[in-house]
């Protein structure tokens, strides 16, 4: 499973130019390139077999939110 945390992921996949046109929803070509690359990398890992085996989850709650 992969959750982007945003509804604009698909819009970002289509982003080109400087982001000023209404068509790109304020997203520029850099946003489009990054989103495309991340999506390609994820799909490659998922296609290769259990993603959790090659990229296991790492607990980072304490590092992000602090606590003991």
Domain borders along the chain are 1-46
> Which one is predicted more confidently, 12 or 17?
12
Buried b (16+ CB within 10 A) or exposed e, 12-49: beebeeebeeeebeebeeebbeebeeebeeeeebeeee
- Residue 36's pLDDT is 94
Rounded to two decimals, the pTM is 0.69
In this predicted model, what pLDDT tens digit does every residue of 17-66 receive, in sequence order? 777 766 667 888 898 999 999 999 999 999 998 888 888 888 888 888 88
- Residue 18's pLDDT is 79
pLDDT band at 68 (very low <50, low <70, confident <90, very high): low
């Amino acid at each position: 499973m992969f959750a982007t945390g945003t509804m604009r992921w698909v819009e970002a996949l289509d982003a080109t130019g400087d982001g000023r046109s209404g068509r790109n929803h304020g997203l520029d070509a850099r946003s489009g390139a990054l989103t495309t690359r991340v999506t390609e990398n994820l799909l490659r890992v998922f296609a290769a077999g259990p993603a959790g085996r090659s990229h296991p989850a790492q607990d980072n709650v304490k590092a992000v939110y602090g606590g003991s």
